[in-house]
Amino acid sequence: MEQPSPILTAKSRGNRTRQNLTDRFITACKPAARGARDDWPDAIVPGLVLRVTDRGHKSFVLRGRFPLNPKNPTRRALGDYGAISLAEARDKARSWLALIDKGIDPKMEEERLRGEAKRRQDTIFGRVAADFLDRHASKLAKAKEIRAIVESEFVKRWKNRPLELVAPQDIAAAIRTIVERGAPAQAHNAYANLRNLFGWAIGTGEYGITQSPLANLSPRALIGERVIRQRILSDAELRSVWNASDDLGYPYGPAVQLLILTAQRLTSQRYRVARN
């Protein structure tokens, strides 16, 4: 049905009769009287109002009893006409009314959603990984190796993904890719570095996660047993090492010679303790 002219609908300014708002109707609305505003309630969505100022500015507001101030009806801006369409204004008004019915103030909910979006942006994997590498891994003995593994194997995959959305199956797929290219030792190192990254992130309390996605993963199941290198030095190599250790002086030279005499590896015991 054709909409009546705004001028003919009501002569008095202020709250007008309810209208089935259309773009044609909104475009035809004239500016309000000087110093006044015209409110045109929508006949489709209760509480939705088209507001027209004396300068011709048109916007949508929602009139209702909001949880933060339920005693008196108030108007809250939904958006300027043009910035949001009539259909978008109706959808937004309906969503706000649904929140109000649940006792949730739309303003507080929008602030919560903005905060959540910012938190997720601040905790994407690439940013957390950079923090881990700069603040923690940079102090470790193999800092360059750790950085290379984390950036090449994981950051490339999940750079813009929120940390909390990196799932166990994502990690399993990344580790299996390394195994399948014939690098099981590197797969073990990559797994250990990723486990340290998530452990560090949880420990800082800064990134919104409390549990690591690696918690229930098994490197043995994903990769297999870690193979310990069995490199045995020849007699000539042992002689060269023995002679070179004389130049080291105390305590390192005698320590190396003791290892040779007892046929021990420097890191063998440390490795067994770490595995157990």
Q: What is the mean pLDDT of residues 107-116?
A: 81
* Res 15: pLDDT: 59
Mean pLDDT of 119-130: 87
Size of the chain in residues: 276
pLDDT at position 255: 82
In order, the DSSP letters of 56-97 are --EEEEEEEEETTEEEEEEEEEEEEBTTB-HHHHHHHHHHHH
- Residue 217 neighbours by CB under 8 Å, 6+ apart: 168, 171, 172, 191
pLDDT of 95 strictly over 80: yes
Mean pLDDT across 126-139? 96
What is the model's pLDDT at position 8?
36
Q: Please, what is the Cα angle at 35 between 34 and 37, to 5 degrees?
A: 95
Note the pLDDT of residue 205.
93
Read off the amino acid at residue 159: K
d(CA 275, CA 269): 10
Superfamily of domain 6-111: Integrase, DNA-binding domain (3.30.160.390)
Reported as a pLDDT band with limits 50, 70 and 90, residue 107 is confident
* Unique residue bearing structure tokens 């002219």: 5
**The pLDDT of residue 54:** 94
CA–CA dist 165, 163 (Å, integer):
5
- For 125-222, which CATH class? mainly alpha
Domain residue ranges in the chain: 6-111, 125-222, 235-275
Q: Which stretches does DSSP call E strand in the chain?
A: 37-41, 48-53, 58-66, 69-80
Q: How far apart are the C-alpha atoms of 18 and 209, rounded to whole Å?
A: 49
Question: pLDDT by residue (tens digit) across 175-227?
Answer: 999 999 999 999 999 999 999 999 999 999 999 899 999 999 999 999 987 75
- pLDDT > 90? residue 138: yes
- Nearest C-alpha neighbor of 123 from the set 175, 147, 158, 170: 158
Check whether 120 has a pLDDT greater than 90: no
pLDDT confidence of residue 35: 92
By the 8 A CB rule, do 96 and 115 touch?
Answer: no
Segment 134-152 mean pLDDT: 95
| Residue 248, φ and ψ in degrees, nearest 5 | -70, -30
Region 219-244 average pLDDT: 76
Residue 238 or 150, more confident = 150
pLDDT digits (tens, 9 = 90+) for 7-59: 334 333 455 778 899 999 999 999 999 999 999 999 999 999 999 999 999 99
Q: Edge-to-edge strands of the sheet including 69-80? A: 37-41, 48-53, 58-66, 69-80
